[in-house]
Structure 1
Amino acid sequence: MTKQTYRQAFSSHDAAAAYAKRYTNSTYDNLLWDIEREQLRELIRSHCAESSRHRALDFATGTGRVLPVISEFFPSVVGVDVAQPMLDIAKASCPTATLHQADLSTGALLPEAPFQLVTAFRFLFNAEEELRASALRGIRANLADEGSVLIINNHGSTPSIRSVSHAAWTMVRPFLKLNHNRLSHRAVMRLLKDSGFEIVEWRSTGLAGEKLWRLLPSAIVARVERKASRSRAMKWVLLNRLYACRPLTNPSVR
């Protein structure tokens, strides 16, 4: 049987609906999204000058949860995804957004380009290595050169407390076939640089994990997560990283 690629992961309505349920009020993923949403707003305020005059794109928009946030700052907001079932849900998330079913990794230019801001959430970690590189090149081609920003996250970063615990558990229980994907901070830096970007600022969140969320009162976990996300000392050991990047002036894109 041929392994499903990330491009195909949400090609069915059932898969899109199941993904949307991850971000209901009672989930750990939704708690982290609440924190990342505030971090996203802070990064936009810091790095997107005069956003009210420009356009923004949410790449791999999925169910469109990022679209309402960037629409707070930009008068023209666009979402793009390869999966039409995801776009059907996204339309309800932000009715004013323009949505395109397209694959930017093939070099496609959207009619609204160039954009001052492109966001990309939960793509980098999930995508295959070749797709990461080609998608970043496609994003770079759709960005304006002057003052433009890419805000992209990695929700499985190493080093982190949770990655260390996963590694330790694997050593203790070698007969378990655990599959804990990882994408290191250094690998992200290298990938972005090779694709024509430089990181100018980053934030992080994600300390407790799903298991503690289920074991402890949600209010306690939420308090700990919010405090950790604001701590400089904890920045390097949290799982989710959110990067604000600028296009390089003279990139040597591979």
Structure 2
Amino acid sequence: MSSGYATRFQTEEAVKEYEQVEYSPNSYSAKIWSLQKPIVLRLIEDFASTRKESRLLDFACGTGRILSTVEPLVSESVGLDISPSMIKIAASKCKRSELIVGDILQNPDLVDDQFDIITCFRFLLNAESQTRIDVLRVLRSKLVSRNGILVANVHGNSWSARHLALLYRKWVKGEIHNEMSPPEITRMFHAAGFKIVRYYGFGIIPPTLYRTPLAPMAFKVDSIARDIHILRSISVDLLYVCVPA
């Protein structure tokens, strides 16, 4: 997989930082996930309830945050990640899922093509532009015809207040961080053969405020904003439900 994601989490140190810092209990990422979680559960549960059996693939499953949450809702679940260190932690969380290490672009046959639901979190933003589309095309081929769904997020909306903070970090510190706008995200899904049927937004407050004494207030505002649909397009983290076009 030609992407920074392929090498970023190959060391135990990087995985440990992701697990203990990025998703520490009071971190921005953990707080946003607490807002996303009930919606993700409802989406998967509602979809699975319409089928006698349902199979789920969690692509780029990482340390198993998503997979361990949704595996009780489906008949069968599989987690796939390129990092053995990530899978090692996922194995300690997931009770009934099959876990696979490998690169789906290099070896598409790592998993079969009979999934009803595919989840893909925190991968698309981190991957290179063409890699995003290549991976999404492979994932589309793994869904059961047109009856399956893809639930995926992009955790860096360039229309959000996060963009202003990143401009400061670019000018002052020379840091470059990936961003995508809603139109760019829509074009990406369309190029890969998907149609967006629903989307949600999480977090209108810049993540930097979560590292200040204003964090409780920021979370309260974001909790309210989650249910105000007009604010979706300016939210930091966008969650999409897609079907094959």
Q: TM-score, normalised by structure 2?
A: 0.90
| Pairing 1:78-227 to 2, within 5 Å after superposition | 78-106=78-106, 108-164=108-164, 166-167=166-167, 169=168, 174=171, 176-227=173-224
1:247 is the counterpart of 2:235: no
Query: What is the alpha-carbon distance in structure 2 between the residues aligned to residue 213 and residue 157 of structure 1?
Result: 17
Displaced runs of 4+ in structure 1, greater than 3 A? 45-49, 110-113, 164-167, 173-176
Q: Call closer, same or farther: CA 1:232–1:97 in 2, change over 3 Å.
A: same
Residue pair 1:162, 1:209 contacting (<8 A) in 2 also = yes
Query: What is the alpha-carbon distance in structure 2 between the residues aligned to residue 130 and residue 152 of structure 1?
Result: 17
Q: Call closer, same or farther: CA 1:175–1:153 in 2, change over 3 Å.
A: closer
- Structure 1: tracts of 5 or more residues without a match: 249-254
Query: What is the alpha-carbon distance in structure 2 between the residues aligned to residue 163 and residue 125 of structure 1?
Result: 14
- Who is 1:38 aligned against? 38
Q: Which moved more, 1:157-166 or 1:58-67?
A: 157-166
How far is the alpha carbon of 1:234 from its aligned partner?
1.5
Query: What is the alpha-carbon distance in structure 1 between the residues aligned to residue 19 and residue 173 of structure 2?
Result: 30
Residue pair 1:202, 1:242 contacting (<8 A) in 2 also = yes
1:112-154 deviation digits (Å, cap 9, x = unpaired): 5410000000000000112111111111121111420000100
1:8 is the counterpart of 2:10: no
How far is the alpha carbon of 1:77 from its aligned partner?
0.8
Q: Which moved more, 1:12-21 or 1:236-245?
A: 12-21
1:71 match: secondary structure: helix
The residue type paired with residue 126 of structure 1 is: N
The residue type paired with residue 20 of structure 1 is: E
Q: Which moved more, 1:209-218 or 1:123-132?
A: 209-218
How far is the alpha carbon of 1:193 from its aligned partner?
0.7
Residue pair 1:6, 1:127 contacting (<8 A) in 2 also = yes
2:65 match: secondary structure: coil
How far is the alpha carbon of 1:45 from its aligned partner?
4.0
Q: Higher helix fraction: Structure 1 or Structure 2? A: 2
Query: What is the alpha-carbon distance in structure 2 between the residues aligned to residue 52 and residue 31 of structure 1?
Result: 34
Q: Call closer, same or farther: CA 1:222–1:176 in 2, change over 3 Å.
A: closer
Query: What is the alpha-carbon distance in structure 2 between the residues aligned to residue 69 and residue 138 of structure 1?
Result: 24
Aligned residues: 243
Residue pair 2:81, 2:101 contacting (<8 A) in 1 also = yes
Q: Which moved more, 1:7-16 or 1:106-115?
A: 106-115
1:79-112 deviation digits (Å, cap 9, x = unpaired): 0011111000000111211001121123513455
The residue type paired with residue 42 of structure 1 is: R
How far is the alpha carbon of 1:179 from its aligned partner?
2.0
Q: TM-score, normalised by structure 1?
A: 0.87
Identity score, percent: 27
The residue type paired with residue 54 of structure 1 is: S
The residue type paired with residue 233 of structure 2 is: W
Query: What is the alpha-carbon distance in structure 2 between the residues aligned to residue 33 and residue 129 of structure 1?
Result: 25
- Who is 1:64 aligned against? 64
- Who is 2:227 aligned against? 230
